[in-house]
Amino acid sequence: MTNEFDFIARLRALATDPAARGLNDDAAVLEIGGQLLVVTHDMMIEGVHWLQGQDMADVAWKLVAVNLSDLAAKGARPIGIIVGQTIPDEEERFLSGLRDALRAFNVPLLGGDTVSAGQGRTALGLTALGSSVSGIVPGRDGAQPGDLLYITGPVGAAMMGFEALQAGTEDNSLAFRRPMPLLAEGAALAPHVSAMMDVSDGLLLDAWRLATTSGVTLAIDTAEVPLGAPEERRDDALRWGDDYQLLFTASPTAELPARAIPIGTVEEGEPPLLVDGIAIFEPEGLGYRH
Amino acid sequence: MTNEFDFIARLRALATDPAARGLNDDAAVLEIGGQLLVVTHDMMIEGVHWLQGQDMADVAWKLVAVNLSDLAAKGARPIGIIVGQTIPDEEERFLSGLRDALRAFNVPLLGGDTVSAGQGRTALGLTALGSSVSGIVPGRDGAQPGDLLYITGPVGAAMMGFEALQAGTEDNSLAFRRPMPLLAEGAALAPHVSAMMDVSDGLLLDAWRLATTSGVTLAIDTAEVPLGAPEERRDDALRWGDDYQLLFTASPTAELPARAIPIGTVEEGEPPLLVDGIAIFEPEGLGYRH
Residues A144-181: tens digit of each pLDDT: 999 999 999 999 999 999 999 888 876 788 999 999 99
Residues B162-197: tens digit of each pLDDT: 999 888 876 788 999 999 999 999 999 999 999 999
Contacts of A18 in chain B (CB under 8 A): none
pLDDT value of residue A16 = 54
Residues B36-86: tens digit of each pLDDT: 999 988 888 887 788 778 888 999 999 999 999 999 999 999 998 888 777
What CA–CA distance (Å, rounded) separates B127 from B61? 14
Contact of B52 with chain A, judged by CB distance below 8 Å, is answered with no
Residues A240-254: tens digit of each pLDDT: 989 999 999 999 999
At what angle are helices A4-12 and B91-104 packed, to 10 degrees? 20
What CA–CA distance (Å, rounded) separates B43 from A169? 34
Contact of B85 with chain A, judged by CB distance below 8 Å, is answered with yes
Contact of B127 with chain A, judged by CB distance below 8 Å, is answered with yes
Average pLDDT, integer, range A137-143: 94
Interface contact flag, B39 A127, Cβ < 8 Å: yes
3-state percent breakdown (helix, strand, coil) of chain B, nearest 5: 30, 30, 40
Of A42, A116, A118, the CB nearest to B4: A116
Residues A51-86: tens digit of each pLDDT: 778 888 999 999 999 999 999 999 999 998 888 777
Quick one: which of B5, B183, B19, B34 has its CA closest to B101? Answer: B183
Annotated ligand binding at B70? The verdict is: yes
- The CA-based dihedral angle spanning residues A141, A144, A148, A154, taken in that order and rounded to the nearest 10 degrees: 10
What do you get for the CA distance between the two ends of chain A, in Å?
17
> What is the interface pTM, i.e. ipTM, of the complex?
0.79
Q: What pLDDT band is residue A2 in, cutting at 50, 70 and 90?
A: very low
Q: What pLDDT band is residue B11 in, cutting at 50, 70 and 90?
A: low
pLDDT value of residue B50 = 83
Of A84, A91, A98, the CB nearest to B2: A91
Q: Above 90 in pLDDT, residue A18?
A: no
pLDDT value of residue B3 = 55
3-state secondary structure of A150: strand
Fold of B4-132: 60s Ribosomal Protein L30; Chain: A; (3.30.1330)
Contacts of B123 in chain A (CB under 8 A): 43, 45, 123, 125
> Could you tell me which CATH class the domain A148-280 is placed in?
alpha beta
Annotated ligand binding at B49? The verdict is: yes
What CA–CA distance (Å, rounded) separates B17 from A111? 10
Annotated ligand binding at B243? The verdict is: no
What CA–CA distance (Å, rounded) separates A136 from A109? 26
Interface contact flag, A14 B46, Cβ < 8 Å: no
**Which residue of A32, A42, A64, A197 is the best one to mutate when testing the B interface, meaning the one whose CB has the most B CBs within 10 A?**
A32
The residue extents of the domains of chain B are: 4-132, 148-280
Tell me which H or E stretch contains A44.
Answer: strand A35-45
